[in-house]
Amino acid sequence: MDSIRFGLLTVSDSCYKYKNEDKSGPEVELCIHDKNSEIGKILKGQVYHKNIVPDEEYAIKENLISWSDSRQIDVIFTIGGTGFSKRDVTPEATKQIIQKEAPGIATAMLMSSLKITPMAMLSRAVCGIRDKTLIINLPGSPKAAKECLNVIAPAIPHAVDLIRDHKERIKDTHANVQNNIATEIPLSKGSNKISPCLGSIIERNRESPYPMISVEEALQLIYKHTEPLNSNCKLEEDLEKAHGKILNGDLYSKCDLPPFRASIKDGYAVLANDGKGRRTVLSGIKAGGIATAIKLLPGTCVRVNTGAPIPDDATAVIQVEDTKLIKGTSDNMEEKEIEIMAEVQIGQDIRPIGCDIKKGELILKSGTKLEAIELGLAAACGYKKIPVTDFPKIGVLSTGDELQCPGTALMPGHIYDSNKVTLLTMLKENGFDSMDMGIAVDDENIMINKIKHALKQVDVLITSGSVSMGDRDMLKPILQHYFNATIHFGRINMKPGKPTTFATCVLQDRKKYLLCLPGNPVSATVTMHLFALPLLKKLCKDDSTPTIVRAKLMSSYNLDPRPEYARAVLKWNDVDTLPQAYSTGNQISSKLLNCKNANALLMLPARKAEKTELKQGDIVQAMLLGFTQRT
């Protein structure tokens, strides 16, 4: 269709008076103009007019009438002024100038917003048509305006076609809609919807279709199906910008270290064969100086500082402490003669050329994480830029009807979302930046749109929740049937974290990775350590692995039928050779409080007939949290 012409009218006293910056108008404009965004691809439009007016009916109406009657604008978005404040009059002004109402658009925005916050019911948005222009009231906050625009964007091009009376395009749109309805993929018997929750609860699976595999098998599948980023290209990065990244290629020294024979001590470069006795001091050489022009003769020496080059003839360095001054210059500014008091050995306190690192010697292996020492070593060996692996773009999405953002009034039957901030912070602690993808309620269309929106921006999407056997756990079917994802595993023989799922799909010709963690907070944190971090490290070519030690139990444990990863605090003392492992308390998967202060996961074996418990003093393996080692 032809480009849609938009007008943006921000309604705000404070923005009009320059007391606050208008952030909502530019946010909506960006959505319209960004051809890479989902909204931009749908709307395919341009903003022709934009203005900021105060919360006054006459000012709002004047702009709406002027823009509409000019027939230069197809869609006008008003932004703000739809609430309960005395000054919020945008709906009233809009009602006075429209000729036809379009309540379905307002209803769609309201229904979508209510799934995010119950406060959306206080919005009073009005939508309608004036002549050939569609007018839509959007809320005033940038986030809410964008969310509402995301919901109604698919209908706007067709609405404009209807207003313009473009019969052929209207006919094509109706045909496409009918075809899409006819080709929906059935998931469960008797249901024409993707998600099992929209079918019959009675017909849902009573057993998981995914085989139970071990933690080791799950990790092998992750490694097998994960392809490092930048595998076919080299991304060069300045040293000061490479901190925390992963080296993409072996580094070899460009020079010898040291590149000259250097003094190890503050003292005097001498001929070792001269032995003890008096020496004439020819001159002094400091670090950074040149020594090649100085010729040492028997009975002479040269004063040198630590790290300074020494003359080619010198065969030893004697430290200042083993000498005494015999004579100085008349002004006492220079030494003229010293006496060596100790025996001198050939090669004493001299660093030969290349004794630390030879030119061409391997200094850093590909896959090394670049911390301060590694970057200093690269600089010392002549590098300004080095090849690094680009970090993956990561998104974190929480799922579940019961979740609310912290800071809002908690509704009955709801809980605050703790997983997202926990996982985002864990990623940051391990050197990964990530994006907050919000909360997806257990609604088929919303979850599809949330995942689709996220996958267009990230390489790896980490979710929590909706992967168990509940009638609302629809994530796996959606990944399979809507995104054509391959689920490599969907159940792991472990506690906590059994329903952890790993899948891959291709979107926009790029491989995407989905790691779906359980919704219970402890399960999410444990599986984050065990599976998400190894996946991300493989993408970065990071070859580090968790540090595993042996530890002595300070309490007994009843073993579970599944191998268990129990939170613990390891403490070292001067008596025991092994650290002592103290339980953090009740290990149920919802008890996040008992993760606090844990610095290790005890790797407890599965229960067997001959071994049903571990006793105090038994030795087990423990994975240290926050510690890695190089393979």
Q: Which residues of 2-29 are buried (b: 16+ CB within 10 A; e: fewer)?
A: eebbbbbbbbbbebbeeeeebebbebbb
Q: What is the DSSP string of 83-144?
A: SSSTT--HHHHHHHH-SEE-HHHHHHHHHHHHTT-GGGGG----EEEETTEEEEEEPSSHHH
Binning pLDDT at 50, 70 and 90, where does residue 115 land? confident
**Two structure tokens written together for 348:** 């004493």
What is the pLDDT, as a whole number, of residue 69?
85
What is the pLDDT, as a whole number, of residue 469?
64
Q: What is the pTM of this model?
A: 0.60
How far apart are the C-alpha atoms of 631 and 620, rounded to whole Å?
A: 22
What is the pLDDT, as a whole number, of residue 234?
65
Read off the amino acid at residue 196: P
Q: Which CATH class is domain 4-177?
A: alpha beta
Q: Region 552-565: what's the mean pLDDT?
A: 95
Percent of the chain whose predicted confidence (pLDDT) is above 70? 89
Q: Which of 38-52, 373-387, 599-613 has the lowest mean pLDDT?
A: 38-52
Fold match between domain 262-351 and domain 548-624: no
Topology, domain 236-256+356-387: Molybdopterin biosynthesis moea protein, domain 2 (3.90.105)
What is the pLDDT, as a whole number, of residue 41?
84
| Residue 82: closest CA among 71, 72, 91 | 91
**Two structure tokens written together for 488:** 């490599």
* Domains of the chain by residue range: 4-177, 236-256+356-387, 262-351, 394-540, 548-624
What is the pLDDT, as a whole number, of residue 244?
84
How far apart are the C-alpha atoms of 422 and 400, rounded to whole Å?
A: 16
Q: Which residues of 35-51 are buried (b: 16+ CB within 10 A; e: fewer)?
A: eebbbbebbebebbbbb
| Residue 244: closest CA among 346, 358, 122, 370 | 370
What is the pLDDT, as a whole number, of residue 194?
45
Q: Region 187-215: what's the mean pLDDT?
A: 58
- With contact defined as beta carbons under 8 Å apart, do 143 and 117 qualify? no
Q: Which CATH class is domain 394-540?
A: alpha beta
Binning pLDDT at 50, 70 and 90, where does residue 269 land? very high
What is the pLDDT, as a whole number, of residue 120?
86
How far is the CA of 406 from the CAs of 298, 373, 420, in angstroms? 82, 40, 11
What is the pLDDT, as a whole number, of residue 587?
45
Q: Is the pLDDT of residue 316 over 60?
A: yes
Q: Is the pLDDT of residue 193 over 50?
A: no
Q: How high is the mean pLDDT of the chain?
A: 88
Binning pLDDT at 50, 70 and 90, where does residue 231 land? low
614-629 per-position pLDDT tens digit: 999 999 999 999 766 6
59-100 per-position pLDDT tens digit: 999 999 989 988 889 999 999 999 999 999 999 999 999 999
Domain 548-624 belongs in CATH node 2.60.40.10: no
Q: Is the pLDDT of residue 453 over 50?
A: yes
Binning pLDDT at 50, 70 and 90, where does residue 630 land? low
Binning pLDDT at 50, 70 and 90, where does residue 167 land? low
What is the pLDDT, as a whole number, of residue 342?
96
In this structure, the number of other CB atoms found within 10 A of the CB of residue 136 comes to: 23
What is the pLDDT, as a whole number, of residue 232?
54
How far apart are the C-alpha atoms of 402 and 296, rounded to whole Å?
A: 84
What is the pLDDT, as a whole number, of residue 196?
43
Domain 262-351 belongs in CATH node 2.170.190.11: yes
Q: Is the pLDDT of residue 477 over 60?
A: yes
Provide CB contacts within 8 A for 439, sequence distance 6+: 116, 397, 398, 399, 400, 403, 404, 405, 417, 420
